[in-house]
Structure 1
């Protein structure tokens, strides 16, 4: 059975210039229709009530753009279908400045115990360039408001390698971010994605990206500053105080099964990966028709599961557990990967001990090249069956 649940709320007050997630401008009447369709999808796919799960994550979009009444509708649905009381981690994403006291109290009453804030950068001018609606002062107000009402498990998202950003500028943002003394930080280098404002500017030569060496310098700043402030790197892009690692994200990196509900959401069930319809009218129509608003289903065989065990596992600083691999698949990793592992160790990109295989510091910088070594042919898998 799936261990976790992801629920996508695709509405935003503003569309950021870099964002390629499934999102639409918020309209209250449209959100009402969406929540009804979402209910039909969840009820059609989750048998019974109070199903046990380890984590629940509500992402977007901006889930907290919903009204208090709409959030109440959503939370009631989640409580009916899943055992929230037995859930380890219940996260909702929010933007600084858009979550008031009434919403915070409602979320707490329904068992939400973690909030992920989309801060991105602590510089007002750069926030404007990104198309963000909030300002730095909103970050302080929102963090304080959450803490005052008992929601202390807060994560901040940061983006680096932004247009015109220098390592010195990024150092200032990281210093200010860690001064909040929060338990978790997620950090990502800017990616230029199709169908975004930044992509259009990039195509026209109007987007100034920092050079690669500046991006590497920013990543080094990130790691050293987090370490100095008691935050350990447990995944390529994530840092936490001990015990505050994101349990939901670890579920992804541990290659576990999960439900994905909502427009554009993805789920991973035994033998298949499911991607939902993205256009809002199409999603609502199909979810109301039969509860299965699926765009595509991808078969996941042994080959794909083994590959993903390494792709995802090597994102974690602890790496891939050899014993867990053998327990899951019934054969040793050496039967498939002895040669590539030795090659990568010689390059200085992998290290190995009795229990784990993990990236070196240099290997993290060449992650995509490392992962390519773990692609398989179907004929490789036949030899281990």
Structure 2
């Protein structure tokens, strides 16, 4: 089976955001040098000889652009030496506004990166400070302009809603300002209080209060309405794009296709198994240098799990899961496998069947987790 994509994790940040539970560490030049050496060793284990042909490469974090110029060049060169970048359909780097000086933008362009995902979160300096972001609104304008001038026009920005102290009106201003950029792609996520984060500690103490659920739902509906009117279509629960600019890499996940997961804490999906890498930096670096296999956990994925995941992941897409693709992949009809769940969810108006696809209704999107639970199969 073909490995469609590669996810490469760079865990360094200049500042740790209060809500983030991804694998991340304060940037340190020496640690970053050691990490890149270990990372190359891991990549070489997967791809020892000729360059791997993949449809998409996504370099995420942390903040991949938090490293210095020589380290960024080393990282880009390493990827270029192991992957056939020229035949890649989409090559994305995550970045924080303010990180992208002219030299970093030049390097990204020179090594074939053709898509940038900017972690903007909110267009309000005070709130950026309150959630632990280091950039300010003016940095978004500077960096988007710098990217566009360099010909990197496929830019996506991430927004957050349901933040502490955020009202519906406040989020509407963020949406409006984000839309002024007229970008091809927008992602937006509601705040989740994750363990081992600053926000989690405050939440446990009762000092962090999220907006009420009805406000959160209103923010989400407002986002959908405004972007749809502007011709930026929702193609997944949290993602919106102009036609043809959907994230091909993220579609790898939602289409339940195979991908390499490389770097500290990275998750991968290879034929027959899902992998999770070691998270702590010293332990990851030590193991990757020792044998190039810094895997913490491998979970076998049998037919039952594959079919469940096909539904959990595929139903995140607006178009839903193709009945014919399901039959082609698993040699059985979807309705035969999920004969109890589908009628029940249709009756509750949480899913619908149209043009050969099973998809979530607008109400189903809001109650997504309830829907996904119904697709757990008995042994």
Same-fold call, TM cutoff 0.5: yes
Q: Give 1:41-56 correspondences, 5 Å limit.
A: 41-56=42-57
CA displacement 1:115-154 (0-9 Å, x = unmatched): 0000000001100100000000111111111101110000
For residues 297-308 of structure 1, the aligned pairs below 5 Å read 297-308=298-309
Query: Could you tell me how far 1:79 is from its partner in structure 2?
Result: 1.0
CA distance in 1, matches of 2:325, 2:69: 43
Match of 2:330 in 1: 329
Q: 3-state DSSP class of the match of 2:264?
A: coil
Residues 79-158 of structure 1: pairs in structure 2 closer than 5 A = 79-158=80-159
- Residue 188 of structure 2 is matched in structure 1 by 187
Corresponding position: 1:289 with 2:275: no
* C-alpha distance in 2 between matches for 1:68 and 1:238: 31
Q: Which residue of 2 aligns with 1:65?
A: 66
Distance 1:166 1:241 in 2: 27
Runs of 4+ displaced beyond 4 Å: none
1:369 and 1:196 mapped to 2: Cα distance?
Answer: 26
Partner of 2:85, secondary structure, is: coil
TM-fit CA distance, 1:47: 3.6
State the alpha-carbon separation in 2 of the partners of residues 45 and 297 from structure 1. Answer: 15
For 2:341 and 2:198, locate their aligned partners in 1 and report how far apart those are by CA, in whole Å: 40
User: Structure 1 residue 46: deviation in Å?
Assistant: 1.6
* Corresponding position of 1:17: 18
2:362 is matched with which residue? 361
Residues 331/47 of structure 1: CA separation in 2 closer, same or farther (3 Å cut): farther
- Whole-Å separation in 2 of the counterparts to 1:6 and 1:374: 27
Per-residue deviation, residues 96-119 of structure 1 (Å, max 9, x unmatched): 011111111111110000000000
Structure 1, gaps ≥5 residues long? 379-385
Q: Which residue of 2 aligns with 1:176?
A: 177
Give the C-alpha shift of residue 76 in structure 1: 1.2
CA distance in 2, matches of 1:2, 1:235: 22
- Aligned equivalents of 1:354, 1:183: Cα separation in 2: 27
Displacement of 1:338: 2.3
1:273 matched to 2:271: no
**SS of match in other structure, 2:338:** helix
**Structure 1 segment 208-247 matched on structure 2, within 5 A:** 208-247=209-248
d(CA) in 2 for partners of 1:171 and 1:76? Answer: 41
Deviations 1:8-46 (A, max 9, x none): 000001000000000000011110000000000010112
How many residues are aligned here? 378
| 2:202 matched residue in structure 1 | 201
* Residue of structure 2 in register with 1:381 after alignment: none
- The 1-side partners of 2:335 and 2:216 are apart by 35
2:375 paired residue number: 374
**Runs (5+) with no aligned partner, structure 2:** none
Shift of 1:339: 2.5
Instruction: For 1:252 and 1:274, locate their aligned partners in 2 and report how far apart those are by CA, in whole Å.
Output: 14
Measured after TM superposition, the shift of residue 342 of structure 1 is: 1.0
Residue deviations 1:230-281 (CA, integer Å, cap 9, x gap): 1000000000000000000001000000001000001000110000001100
Secondary structure, aligned partner of 1:139: helix
Q: Secondary structure at the match of 1:317?
A: coil
Q: CA RMSD in A?
A: 0.7
| Matched position secondary structure for 1:58 | strand
Structure 1 residue 354, shift from structure 2 partner? 4.4
**Distance (whole Å) between structure 2 residues aligned to residue 32 and residue 69 of structure 1:** 10
Secondary structure of 2:51's aligned partner:
coil
Name the SS for the 2:203 alignment partner: helix
Distance 1:82 1:98 in 2: 25
Distance in structure 2 (CA, Å) of the matches to 1:208 and 1:335: 45
